[in-house]
Amino acid sequence: MAVLSKGLNFAPAPRIIPYADIIGGIKQAVRRLPEVTAVEIRSEVPMVLKRAIPPKSNISRKEREAIRTLRNNPDLTILPADKGNATVILKTDEYRQKILDILNDASCKTQCRDATDAITRKTVDLMKKCGLPQDTVKNLRPQAPVPPRI
């Protein structure tokens, strides 16, 4: 319960510093920088990583074991609730049956193409036509619309 109450966005502190991940991320990031700056950063990273010490653990040993047990249990599925900031634990068989029930519902249908852009354009056009101020239309416009998926 203590581990799950931390929420699904909780990340345990790593036991060791992930050097390869850090170096890989830095390589990606410095590609867009001027060459002189990129070389300087690349030369300083190893020195900084040599001095780095692993972070102090933010969970107990029992909590770490509980995470491992939950992660390795194929009979359980852990996911966020549809509403609210809650965590749900379901038996995997029950979860799959619920998904199948949703997919077999007549109101659920497969789309051949992604209509998100077209719907976004229509929505913005309707907001403009109804006389809303341009600033309001801009603020109400969907920022990064994505189609529903399962």
pLDDT tens profile 111-150: 778 888 888 889 888 888 888 888 888 888 888 888 877 7
Q: Tell me, what's the pLDDT at 145?
A: 86
Name the nearest CA neighbour of 21 among 55, 45, 47.
45
Ordered by start, the domain boundaries in the chain are: 19-51, 74-109, 113-150
Cα dist from 3 to 66, 69, 82, whole Å = 7, 11, 20
pLDDT in tens, 24-49: 898 888 888 899 999 999 899 989 98
Does the pLDDT of residue 109 top 80, yes or no?
A: no
Structure tokens belonging to residue 116:
């998100």
CB atoms within 10 A of CB 67: 16
**What Rg value do the Cα atoms of the chain yield, rounded?**
24
* CA atoms of 86 and 79, how far apart (whole Å): 9
The model's pTM: 0.56
Phi-psi region of 114 (alpha: psi -120 to 50; beta: other; left: phi over 0): beta
CB atoms within 10 A of CB 120: 13
Q: Tell me, what's the pLDDT at 114?
A: 85
Does the pLDDT of residue 76 top 90, yes or no?
A: yes
**How much of the chain exceeds pLDDT 70, in percent?**
100
Cα dist from 68 to 10, 71, 78, whole Å = 14, 5, 13
* Backbone phi and psi for residue 87, each to the nearest 5 degrees, phi listed first: -110, 135
Say which residue the tokens 């619309």 belong to.
Answer: 145
**How much of the chain exceeds pLDDT 90, in percent?**
26
3-state secondary structure of 146: coil
Q: Tell me, what's the pLDDT at 52?
A: 87
E-strand ranges in the chain read 76-80, 87-91
Residues in Cβ contact with 127 at an 8 Å cutoff, skipping those fewer than 6 apart: 136, 137, 140, 141
